[in-house]
Structure 1
Amino acid sequence: MHLLVTGANGQLGQCLADQLVAQVIPHTLLSRQDADINDTVVLERIIADKAVTAIINAAAYTAVDKAESEPELAQRVNVDGPAALAKLSARFDIPLLHVSTDYVFDGNQQRPYVETDAAVPVGVYGQTKLDGELAIQRHATKYIILRTAWVFGEYGNNFLKTMLRLGKERDTLGVVADQIGCPTYAGDIAKALITIARQLHDGDGEDNAKYGVYHYVGDEAVSWHGFAVAIFAEANRMGVLAKVPIVNAITTEAYPAPAKRPGVSVLSTAKITEDYGLGASKWRVALLCILVSCL
């Protein structure tokens, strides 16, 4: 097995690199500086030279608000790139594992979304991610589209790191309480992707029943406000924060942003558990592990 990972400098890409090294899995990491995922000539050469057995696409345009004013760039990264990778997947007859988002849904559904629920994005970011999914389904047959949500971890910019910074700078802050989702640890997403890649590689390669769209998120739904409260409480208990700031619950309307967000975007992980034996990410456990590393 030899895995090609795109988006290697992102928070998920760096977690994938850590896991691949720890598990001693042959791999090639590509950052945006190494190669553009739309540059099929370069990617073809790498796949052939390294005898790549699967592609994991962790490259994405994730600036939700900026996407509203940069739709062409979001399109290039989130749609054109996955389409190019899907064509390479088909040409070399290798699986493509692609990471998508809960933002493909409008968030108006009260029960957890399953993979077959209608995707109705409410912003440019979500629309480009959905279009990327559709491009993969159009051009490839051996694909895994892994929708996840509210990703946090040690690397990059994310909600956890923002809250820890604000907790040190402010005595009081307001956090949105009417958006509900499932925080998901980037390290767990990396492990899930590698587990799937292993199972696909170890299988006969001809059974398409385990290809398709899957959801993988945290095990507990919470609001951004609830997530912030949990972060501050644990950070203070462990000595990472000297004091706990007052966290006021505010509405989405009270925190205007260029892009609309889904209201309740809880995803069901039943399918991935049944097909791949993967349990949901235990985000509270991951939170503790990350805070320990901050000591």
Structure 2
Amino acid sequence: MLINLHEKRKGGVKDIKILILGSSGVVGSHLVKELRKAHEVIGVAKSSESADVKLDVKDEEELEKLIEGLEPEVVVNCVKPALSTDKMEEEKELSYELNAALPERLAKLQRKYKYKLVQISTDWVYEGKKGKQYNESSPLIAKNYYSETKLEAEKKIQKHAADYLIIRTEGVFGIDDKGTNIFLRLKKRAEHKEPMSVPTDQFSQPIYGGELARVIRVLIEKDAKGIFNVVGPQYVSRYEFACELCKAFEWQCELRAFSISGRKIDVPRNLEVDISKVEAIVGKIKSLDEQIEMLKEEIG
């Protein structure tokens, strides 16, 4: 475990001490940036140079030592295996360890160390039937191993943790160290003048990492509890979203339409999600156009 906190916090004492696990991904990196505006934040990642703490979170003893030593008031779990959802079907041991076992461990530690546990979950826990909108109380149906493990994590957290916040999100886009979200993949293809295949029959409500982070910050500051859908307000296909990005950034990229029916795994095709519960607390989530403008500002 390597800790490097000097030069990371400036401007005096912050209101809340927040530990972010998985701080190098698209969600974690935006959370670090957003929460540092007003709070004391410690980012944890396995190998990223931007992390304050380098730690393999699978090491149970070291993880507990870190929590015990830092005494965070909030622990945010953004950890995700460096695998595609298709690959998770093949590498189930690692997928289970990070998607389900780690959240359960954090939930049990919450009882001991009394922090608020914020779990980044997914709206893939919904079935995704056409013509149906899903709220936080809708039936949960896991269609693949990824969503199965994320759903198990939610159940374990509700069973073991006394204070928790579960964020069901999906389609998060923006800048990050790993470069695996749809925006960065499309950007790379455009720069190399390579075509990109995008499904026309997979619908969801994408959200910019910075806007997701803003919403989570408000939920933490308002001490919200329970489960919240946090996605963007626009319901679009992956293909339509890719077209919007190409238009906004003036990319000349050939988009090749295909159907997800050819994928190896079953995925929820129509994730139309109700966000009225979270908007009642944080206000309106910005439109997709506004979020893309935020991303353009971040890039400069």
Name the TM-score class by shorter chain: 0.7 to 0.9
Alignment of 1:166-181 (within 5 A): 166-170=189-193, 173-181=196-204
Specify the code of the residue in structure 1 equivalent to 2:198: V
**1:159 counterpart = 2:182:** yes
Write the distance in 2 (CA, Å) between the matches of 1:84 and 1:38.
Answer: 10
| Aligned pair partner of 1:101 in 100, 117, 122 | 122
**1:72 counterpart = 2:93:** yes
**1:252 counterpart = 2:294:** no
Q: Secondary structure at the match of 1:65?
A: helix
CA shift at 1:16, angstroms?
1.5
Write the distance in 1 (CA, Å) between the matches of 2:163 and 2:149.
Answer: 21
1:37-81 Cα offsets, whole Å, 9 max, x none, are 344433333333323111111112262111010111110000000
Alignment of 1:185-264 (within 5 A): 185-200=208-223, 210-236=224-250, 241=251, 244-253=252-261, 256-264=262-270
Question: Is contact 1:181-1:221 (8 Å) kept?
Answer: yes
**1:58 counterpart = 2:78:** yes
Q: TM-score, normalised by structure 1?
A: 0.86
Question: Is contact 1:185-1:281 (8 Å) kept?
Answer: no
Question: Is contact 1:104-1:119 (8 Å) kept?
Answer: yes
Write the distance in 1 (CA, Å) between the matches of 2:41 and 2:190.
Answer: 38
Quote the residue 2:42 is aligned against.
28
Compared with structure 1, are the counterparts of its residues 294 and 214 closer, same or farther at alpha carbon in structure 2 (3 Å cutoff)? Answer: closer
Question: Is contact 1:100-1:147 (8 Å) kept?
Answer: yes
RMSD of the TM alignment (CA)? 2.0
Write the distance in 2 (CA, Å) between the matches of 1:46 and 1:93.
Answer: 14
How many positions carry a matched residue from both structures?
276
Specify the code of the residue in structure 1 equivalent to 2:154: E
Quote the residue 1:285 is aligned against.
290
1:9-47 Cα offsets, whole Å, 9 max, x none, are 212111112123333x11222113423334443333333
**1:43 counterpart = 2:49:** no
Quote the residue 1:148 is aligned against.
169
Question: Is contact 2:201-2:269 (8 Å) kept?
Answer: yes
Q: Which runs of 5+ in 2 are unaligned?
A: 1-15, 48-53
Q: Secondary structure at the match of 1:272?
A: helix
Quote the residue 1:18 is aligned against.
33
Write the distance in 2 (CA, Å) between the matches of 1:11 and 1:171.
Answer: 23
Write the distance in 2 (CA, Å) between the matches of 1:216 and 1:163.
Answer: 23
CA shift at 1:249, angstroms?
3.5
> Which protein is richer in helix relative to its size?
1
Specify the code of the residue in structure 2 equivalent to 1:26: E
Quote the residue 2:51 is aligned against.
none
Question: Is contact 1:215-1:272 (8 Å) kept?
Answer: yes
Question: Is contact 1:12-1:190 (8 Å) kept?
Answer: yes
Question: Is contact 2:208-2:295 (8 Å) kept?
Answer: no
Quote the residue 1:205 is aligned against.
none
Which segment drifts farther, 244-253 or 212-221? 244-253
1:136-188 Cα offsets, whole Å, 9 max, x none, are 11111211100001111111321011112223444755421111101111112
| Aligned pair partner of 1:268 in 266, 271, 274 | 274
1:235-291 Cα offsets, whole Å, 9 max, x none, are 11xxxx3xx3453533223xx3322211101211111122x2243243322223333
Higher RCO, 1 or 2 (CA under 8 Å, sep at least 6)?
A: 1
Which segment drifts farther, 122-131 or 191-200? 191-200
Question: Is contact 1:176-1:224 (8 Å) kept?
Answer: yes
Write the distance in 2 (CA, Å) between the matches of 1:47 and 1:78.
Answer: 19
Q: Secondary structure at the match of 1:178?
A: coil
Quote the residue 1:134 is aligned against.
155
Which segment drifts farther, 123-132 or 183-192? 183-192
Specify the code of the residue in structure 2 equivalent to 1:188: E
Write the distance in 1 (CA, Å) between the matches of 2:192 and 2:42.
Answer: 40
Q: TM-score, normalised by structure 2?
A: 0.85
Aligned identity (percent) is 24
